Amino acid sequence: MFDFLDYATLKFIWWILVGALLMGFAIADGMDMGVGVLLPFVARADAERRIAINTVGPHWDGNQVWLITAGGAIFAAWPAVYAAAFSGFYMAMLLVLFALFFRPVGFDYRSKIDNDVWRSAWDWGLFVGGAVPALIFGVAFGNLLQGVPFHLDDMLRPHYQGSLLTALLPLLNPFARLAGAISLGMFTVHGGLWLQLRADDPVASRARKTVMALAPAVALLFLGAGVWLWFGVDGYRVISAPAHDALPNPLAKEVVRATHAWFDIYAAVPAAAAAPVAGVLGPLVAATLAFARRPGWGFVASALGMVGVIGSAGLSMFPFIMPSSLDPRSSLTIWDAPSSHLTLTVMLIATAIFLPIVLGYTIWCYANMWGRVTAKEIEAQSHSAY
């Protein structure tokens, strides 16, 4: 009944779906995180900040569901990755969680009291709630590309090098900080384009200038990360492994670290180079369209750039999900870290049913709440939630 797709195909499909969820999170939730990052800088008076907040206020909580869904998908599709990652990145994830606390409270309580100190404090809280997660998500990808210091024992239990209290500092290595800067920059550019599209002047004009200055820097940083990856970061390569449809056993394969191994995919599948090209051109085209006062198409270009950046990381690492720097054989791949055939099949059926419903409802919400947020509207709704 549930064997209409073979196990290997299901493993590959769920690699695509998890990647799509991460891209959806970056595009949707990255937008309102970027607005939070820009809030103290492009909106100066209280009315201007309320304009910026109201552009994302009706949508931010729905956008954040992409992150929750991605976490749930990793738990269900790749339980071994979930267990290993949520242990090794525990302190970083706690930092993200604590930063995210500022978002619901900030959105809901900022305008409840007409006090400049109160509102300014929550504005900076929204900044933290946008900047810290954006930075840490990039740092996580930077560490995955370098390998995570864990190994699996004979019972397939992950063991990490170092203690829990010191686990955060090694994650903030130079390459990971560069990846974090790319993530923070592209989220901020995305939020700036949204403000240029939806906010009234002068907020829109300041956001436009920010995008024009920051987007080329994001493209340059991404290009620099690729050069660093080529010259300074060894990749991983599978030498031998069981068949792709075999039952999961990470220790049944042989893996080596090799120079330039993260670029193997581009030699094997030249079309994969479209991802890094989009990662470089997307921000540049977005900056050009922001300059031309075409923020709608600029937003699309920014989204394509995000797809390119995240897609480049995923394609470069393929088939690895979580490489191990201590014991390359313990590295987790899409072939040896997934759930059972039945679990992946049932999840796929549920996704095919509910994902179109969720996307349709999301589009309906944006369509019915569309429009530029103006100062006149804010003044007329002085006691609104935001």
Flag whether 93 is in a domain: yes
Evaluate if residue 386 carries a pLDDT over 70: no
Instruction: Tell me the residue range of the domain where 26 lies.
Output: 7-380
Letter for the amino acid at 111?
S
385 inside domain: no
Residue percentage of the chain with pLDDT more than 90? 63
Please report whether residue 78 resides in a domain. yes
Q: What is the pLDDT of residue 2?
A: 57
Q: For residue 101, count other CB atoms closer than 10 A to its CB.
A: 12
Confidence at residue 3, expressed as pLDDT on a 0 to 100 scale? 67
Whether the CB-CB separation of 217 and 185 falls below 8 Å is answered with yes
Say if 295 falls within a structural domain: yes
Average of per-residue pLDDT across 345-351: 92
pLDDT at position 378 is 75
What is the pLDDT at residue 254? 94
Question: Three-state SS for 243?
Answer: coil
Whether the predicted pLDDT of 89 surpasses 90: no
Q: To the nearest whole number, what is the mean pLDDT of the chain?
A: 90
Residue with tokens 């210091």: 149
- Is residue 137 situated within a structural domain? yes
pLDDT, one tens digit per residue, over 200-218 is 889 999 999 999 999 999 9
The verdict on residue 1 lying in a domain is: no
pLDDT in tens, 308-343: 999 999 999 999 999 999 999 999 999 999 999 999
Angle 116-146/295-317 helices, nearest 10 degrees? 40
pLDDT at 167 > cutoff 70: no
Q: How many domains is the chain built from? A: 1
Do residues 277 and 261 lie in contact, with contact meaning Cβ atoms separated by under 8 Å? no
C-alpha–C-alpha distance, residues 283 and 219, integer Å = 6
Predicted confidence at residue 108, as pLDDT, reads 86
Task: Write the CB contacts of 159 (distance below 8 Å, at least 6 apart in sequence).
Answer: 150, 151, 152, 153
Give the pLDDT band (50/70/90) at residue 379: confident
The confidence score (pLDDT) of residue 179 equals 96
Ramachandran area for residue 305 (φ above 0: left; ψ -120 to 50: alpha; else beta): alpha
Angle between the N-to-C axes of helices 274-291 and 295-317, in degrees from 0 to 180, rounded to the nearest 10: 160
- What are the tens digits of pLDDT across the range 235-293? 999 999 898 888 889 999 999 999 999 999 999 999 999 999 999 999 999 999 999 99
Residue with tokens 């906010």: 199
Between 114 and 326, residue with greater pLDDT: 326
Q: What pLDDT is attached to residue 68?
A: 87
pLDDT over threshold 70, residue 382: no
Q: Look at residue 386 and tell me if it is in a domain.
A: no
pLDDT per position as a tens digit, 292-307: 999 999 999 999 999 9
pLDDT of res. 323: 95
In this prediction, residues 49-57 reach a mean pLDDT of 88
Does residue 229 register a pLDDT over 80? yes
Q: Where are the beta strands (DSSP E) in 192-331?
A: 235-240, 254-258, 320-322
